[in-house]
A = this chain, B = another copy of it.
Amino acid sequence: MEPHGKNLIGLSSSGEGSTTFKSYAPATGVEMDPVFHGATAAEVDRAVSLAADAFPIYRKWSGDSRASFLEAIADEIEAIGDRLLERCDAETGLGIPRLTGERGRTTGQLRLFASLVREGSWVDARIDRAIPDREPLPKPDARLMLMPIGPVVVFGASNFPLAFSTAGGDTASALAAGCPVIVKAHRSHAGTGELVGQAIQRAAKRCDAPDGVFSLIHGAGAQVGTALVEHPQIKAVGFTGSLAGGRALFDLASRRPEPIPVYAEMGSLNPVFVLPGAMAEGGPEFAEGLRGSVTLGVGQFCTNPGLVLGIDGEEMDGFIEATESLFEEAPTATMLNPGIRDAYEKGLVTMEGASNVSLVAKSSQSPDAGRTEASPHVWVTDVASYLENPSLSHEVFGPTSLIVRCKSKQEMIDVANRLDGHLTSTLHGTEGDLVEHVDLVEVLERKTGRLIFNGFPTGVEVCHSMHHGGPYPATTDARSTSVGTSAIFRFTRLVCYQSFPNSALPEELKNENPLGLWRTIDGEMTQDPV
């Protein structure tokens, strides 16, 4: 079970392109076989046409059939065994233990969406019964439900080569909704992408899915992605990556003759507010937790805590002192690829040159450039300097964080009010602190997608109640999430049936409620038939 380097177009493979590339192993500096073939314009068009042909068939699949397909994908991914983890580790340097966990998260996510669509109530079925003798006009029978939006393009993330990539959350939620998916493989882990793509192909065959329900397309530059997003048959886009990349796709999609939604998750600074009680009670433990969260996955998490705010004083001095030795002890480690490492180094240079920003500590080890290593850094500044320098509000993707000394609660709120949109914000303190700082909490509710109390933002639980999203520039669509079962709503639209005979309605809307769904009938939630 090895990657062959061709595009997976529906159930076939195709390598007609002459633009080729190889995967680079960041920890060893070698290029790996095979040669990957960037897709030609004709191959892109073939993948999209197949997806468009598959859509009318796949959208009618029952929730149960879609669930079986998602479960088959999870099974096939597991069946690849260690070879998947080894290839993925070679391409990303993330290490087998982390990737073992990420594989579990990926298959768990597929199975969670399977259970969601097998149960079926997610379609938000609503029925208003007719009132033929209503005055002045009769009320017609109206029935509403969510339906899939059409073929979706997914751009996987480099930093989660399994859970946010080929069979990651975007793919799982789009397939669950009933949308065919075309994945633009991430070139940084093209072999991992292909192995997972082959698993999806096998699952599609096993489940007799229409040819084109899934394709995986390679491309070294922006051309292939642009062609996919501009294709008139594509109806939505999922993306996880940089602000520049996400915004470029959003702009492309908005300028189409028919604009389409782009769900780009573009990361953020994830501010952490350390309230007085936390500083007083647990400064050193907090420092330990912070170091763990900042250096987890070599800081390559969208939810990396890049900004820490606390009230200045002796207790904060103690916390910073604790941080110092912890970051000195932190090992250097291999980043995902040289481009990300170079951007990280550039970010450190910006921090070094920023006025009134001092280095608290960095790893005592020297990073090995041949192993694409990064060195954890932690910095400190004051509120005035932070607010004066807009470059300090830009995410530095990697194992680094900036501590900001606040003179007062009001200064904390001032910083919160000046925040852009972020994926998360975190508060550390006592329950009493939360009461005292309710005004801060209310500002953060308006600026961030997820508020965490006495925890760290890294580690996004995949469950019904999760939100991974937030106001721009954290994402291009503040209304939606890319983790958790609510992610399915991104790939849907409403369809209403007025005065339809029961026999012609979708199962979800039939009088007898054959699927046993929770539905809203005349405004009341019920599992009863009409």
Contact = CB atoms under 8 A, between A and B. Distances in A.
Interface of A: 55-56, 59-60, 101, 115, 119, 121, 124, 126-128, 136-137, 139-140, 142-144, 147, 149-150, 235, 250-251, 254-255, 258-259, 261, 421, 431, 434-435, 438, 441-443, 445-446, 448-455, 459, 461, 463-467, 469, 471-473, 476-481, 484, 486, 489, 492-501, 503-504, 518, 520, 522-523, 525
Given A128-B465, A442-B60, A501-B434, A478 B149 contact: yes
Nearest to A57: B442
A479 B179 CA distance: 14
B496 A465 contact: yes
A448 B500 CA distance: 15
Given A149-B478, A463-B128, A465-B143, A499 B449 contact: no
B498 A455 contact: yes
17 contacts: A115-B523, A124-B486, A128-B465, A140-B455, A142-B465, A250-B259, A251-B255, A448-B495, A449-B493, A450-B498, A452-B499, A453-B504, A455-B498, A455-B499, A471-B493, A479-B492, A518-B525
Contacts of A459: 137
A461 B142 CA distance: 8
Contacts of A450: 495-498
A525 B518 CA distance: 8
Nearest to A122: B520
Contact of A494 (B128, B250, B449, B500): B449
Given A56-B446, A144-B486, 17 more contacts: A101-B136, A121-B525, A128-B464, A128-B466, A140-B455, A142-B465, A144-B467, A147-B445, A149-B478, A449-B494, A450-B498, A452-B499, A464-B523, A465-B496, A467-B494, A479-B494, A480-B494
Nearest to A517: B525
A500 B455 CA distance: 10
Nearest to A472: B258
A434 B502 CA distance: 11
Contacts of A465: 126-128, 142-144, 496, 520
Contact of A504 (B59, B435, B463, B464): B435
A496 B454 contact: no
A520 B486 CA distance: 12
A479 B119 CA distance: 22
Contacts of A481: 494
Contacts of A143: 465
A251 B257 CA distance: 11
A494 B486 contact: yes
Contact of A466 (B142, B451, B463, B464): B142
Contacts of A59: 446
A365 B28 CA distance: 86
Given A446-B150, A479-B492, A525-B525, A461 B139 contact: yes
**Shortest 5 CB-CB contacts between residues of A and residues of B:** A467-B496, A254-B254, A126-B465, A142-B465, A144-B465
Nearest to A247: B259
Contact of A503 (B128, B140, B431): B431
A453 B505 CA distance: 11
A469 B451 contact: no
A126 B464 contact: yes
A367 to B, nearest CB: 29
A142 B463 contact: yes
Contacts of A500: 434, 451, 453
A123 to B, nearest CB: 12
Contacts of A496: 449-451, 465-467
A432 B314 CA distance: 82
